[in-house]
Amino acid sequence: MGCCCGCKLCCCVLLVAAVFIAASLGLFSAFFPYPSHASCRVNWVFGKSCTTVKTKLIEQMKAWEHDDCSTKQQCGYEYLGEDGNVIRGLHRTPLLKFEDKLNFTMNANGGNCHVTAVSVSGLSYAVIDFGTNYCNLRNLVIGSGLDENDRYYKENSTNSVCTMYSIAHCNLYT
């Protein structure tokens, strides 16, 4: 007894340590705005029925199921099935062969279809993904043409729920 808070120097050291820890946490979130595990959640709105959206996304996953990633095409997807309004799949990153899990949940809203899509890196320690989880999802939407001629088409996400969202470049054909 007696030392810690009885001693001004100790209190001072504790205070400095507390301020330092708080500042590091603040700096950490300021410079690291992404989820703590590489992943991405995106919301889309389509001016189409959810049946159409679901069919197109499944067809696209199947069309890109082949393993040959040497051609300039998306590849490495695997359609895992549907469960009510949810479809599930996998994407294996061409160069690195990491396996990311993804799903799309569809909800009809008037004549539109609201979709919440999630992709999570299969690599337990992954934090940075160079936008891979986002592109896993977006490439299926763009590749299937779901964004075309659709005046209700809308996409939203943010860095805090989608790793590297604001700087990701999804190059479909490179």
Q: Which range binds ligand NAG by CB under 6 A, 7-15, 45-53, 55-63, 99-107?
A: 99-107
Residue 170's CB is within 10 A of a number of other CB atoms, namely: 17
* Nearer residue to ligand NAG within complex by CB, 24 or 158: 158
Place of tokens 């049946």: 51
SS3 label, residue 79: strand
* Nearer residue to ligand NAG within complex by CB, 24 or 160: 160
Classify residue 4 by its DSSP letter.
Answer: G
Contact with ligand NAG (CB under 6 A): which of 55, 73, 107, 158?
A: 158
141 in contact with ligand NAG (CB under 6 A): no
CA distance linking residue 173 with residue 74, whole number of Å: 7
Contact with ligand NAG (CB under 6 A): which of 78, 105, 127, 153?
A: 105
Degrees, nearest 5: CA angle 32-35-40: 125
Q: Which range binds ligand NAG by CB under 6 A, 14-22, 36-44, 46-54, 140-148?
A: 36-44
Residue 15's CB is within 10 A of a number of other CB atoms, namely: 10
- E-strand stretches of the chain: 39-46, 77-83, 86-92, 99-109, 112-121, 154-156
117 in contact with ligand NAG (CB under 6 A): no
41 in contact with ligand NAG (CB under 6 A): yes
For residue 162, the minimal CB distance to ligand NAG (Å) is 7
154 in contact with ligand NAG (CB under 6 A): no
Contact with ligand NAG (CB under 6 A): which of 103, 114, 142, 159?
A: 103
101 in contact with ligand NAG (CB under 6 A): yes
Instruction: Provide the total of helices (H) and of strands (E) in the chain, helices listed first.
Output: 3, 6
